[in-house]
Amino acid sequence: MNGKPLHEAFNRTAYPITGHGKRNIGVLKDALNAYDGDLDSDIYGEGSIIEGFQGKMAGILGKDKAVFFPSGTMAQQIALRIWCDRKGVKRVAYHPLCHLEIHEQRGLHELHGIEPVLLGGKDRLISLGDVQELYGKVACLLLELPQREIGGQLPDFGELEAISACCRERGIALHLDGARLFEVLPYYQKSAAEVCALFDSVYISFYKGIGGIAGAILAGDAGLAEESKIWKRRHGGDLISLYPYILSADYYFEERLPNMGRYYEEAVELAGLFNKCQQISTLPAEPVSNMFHVHAALSKERLEPLLIELYEETGVGLTHYLRETGETSCYFEISVGDRYALIPKEELHRAFAILDEKLAAVL
Ligand SMILES: Cc1ncc(COP(=O)(O)O)c(C=O)c1O
């Protein structure tokens, strides 16, 4: 018996529209093939592979120093701990749907005794007004760009500058959850360093739009970087060898960074196709990065068989899962990557025409 028919139907499609490709070990093999087998491994955070990559990323992000971590979860909890120690306050502010609040099992509190202050609403971005009205002392404000759980929305750059200025005035450190930082640069028309200049510390990920295996960089001033290495060891993240993550991060960074503008434009085009279908709308209505959410005014139980039929008739796979938001509504996330450009336009448009017909039939 199979418990995930939508997932299995999606896996059988010739043209999945989301992501770069399958997460199989070929992803690592392709990357490692590009390197000389005689290259020495990094050893506990030292050696040319890790030090070279950290230096390169510090330069790109315009920060003094950068440190490679096995995960963003570890890197960000450590960054916030350092800011709390520096400011002598065990409170940080962030969005109610940020990764730390909903995906990390209260790690920040359990491991570091830090209390979060939830800022803004679950259905919108943190605004300048929220920061101005922030009550009581906090060591740090974490902003996530783009805010994933609300479809990858972004503040205007001007608002971001004003939030940054407000934090500086109030002595609040500003930390960037930039898991998808490179994906938003085409919309902002800024360099990574220009965006990061508004923040005191920055985390970036190598397995989202970049499409690597795993891994993260934490960047900031030299003192923060040195302290973060100590915390990385305490957290058990100072692996003797991190090169499989570092080399694949660097390989896919070089390969995919130049494509970020195309992924963004394709996301705008794809969201347009979804928005023409009845009972479907995207959030944001026009994407500001390579990601967006697709909301359906239909229950998961009704939409799922309809999608399976669509995949079987057209070979175009839209999503492998649906998440319920109410009795008659559900959604899924789209991240445009390498796969989208491989779909013949004719097949894509035919699939959306059929989807629209199927949705009309269940009205
Ligand atoms: C916005 C955001 N922040 C942080 C993380 C944590 O990254 P990691 O999986 O490397 O711990 C994620 C991972 O999905 C994320 O989406």
Tens-digit pLDDT string for the chain (363 aa): 456 999 999 999 999 999 999 999 999 999 999 999 999 999 999 999 999 999 999 999 999 999 999 999 999 999 999 999 999 999 999 999 999 999 999 999 999 999 999 999 999 999 999 999 998 999 999 999 999 999 999 999 999 999 999 999 999 999 999 999 999 999 999 999 999 999 999 999 999 999 999 999 999 999 999 999 999 999 999 999 999 999 999 999 999 999 999 999 999 999 999 999 999 999 999 999 999 999 999 999 999 999 999 999 999 999 999 999 999 999 999 999 999 999 999 999 999 999 999 999 998
Domains of the chain: 42-240 (3.40.640.10), 259-361 (3.90.1150.10)
Sheet containing 291-296: give its strands across: 280-283, 291-296, 329-335, 323-326
As a whole number of angstroms, the distance between CA 89 and CA 217 comes to: 25
Strand 316-317 versus strand 329-335 pairing type: unpaired
Distance from residue 341's CA to the centre of ligand 1 (Å): 26
- CB of 216 shorter than 6 A to ligand 1: yes
- CB of 149 shorter than 6 A to ligand 1: no
CB-based burial label for 91 (10 Å; 0-12, 13-18, 19+):
middle
Distance from residue 235's CA to the centre of ligand 1 (Å): 17
Please report the sign of the dihedral spanned by the C-alpha atoms of residue 232, residue 233, residue 235, residue 237: positive
Find out whether 208 and 180 touch, Cβ atoms under 8 Å.
yes
- CB of 184 shorter than 6 A to ligand 1: no
Kindly state the tokens that stand for 362.
């269940």
As a whole number of angstroms, the distance between CA 231 and CA 271 comes to: 42
Find out whether 291 and 333 touch, Cβ atoms under 8 Å.
yes
Instruction: Tell me which residue has tokens 């959850």.
Output: 177
Confidence at residue 1, expressed as pLDDT on a 0 to 100 scale: 42
DSSP state of 213: S
Distance from residue 179's CA to the centre of ligand 1 (Å): 6
Kindly state the tokens that stand for 94.
């962030």
Q: What angle do CA 121, 148, 173 make, to 5 degrees?
A: 70
Index of the ligand 1 atom closest to the CA of residue 207: 10
Distance from residue 214's CA to the centre of ligand 1 (Å): 10
- CB of 77 shorter than 6 A to ligand 1: no
Find out whether 304 and 322 touch, Cβ atoms under 8 Å.
yes
pTM of the model: 0.97
- CB of 144 shorter than 6 A to ligand 1: yes
Confidence at residue 184, expressed as pLDDT on a 0 to 100 scale: 98
As a whole number of angstroms, the distance between CA 169 and CA 91 comes to: 18
Given ligand 1 and candidates 95, 99, 144, 218, which is best to mutate, with the most ligand atoms within 8 Å of its CB?
Answer: 99
Index of the ligand 1 atom closest to the CA of residue 76: 4
Confidence at residue 3, expressed as pLDDT on a 0 to 100 scale: 62
Find out whether 174 and 139 touch, Cβ atoms under 8 Å.
no
- CB of 250 shorter than 6 A to ligand 1: no
The set of residues, in sequence order, having a beta carbon less than 8 Å from that of 288 and lying 6+ positions away, is 146, 152, 153, 154, 184, 187, 264
Q: Which one-letter amino acid corresponds to residue 246?
A: I
- CB of 177 shorter than 6 A to ligand 1: yes
- CB of 205 shorter than 6 A to ligand 1: yes
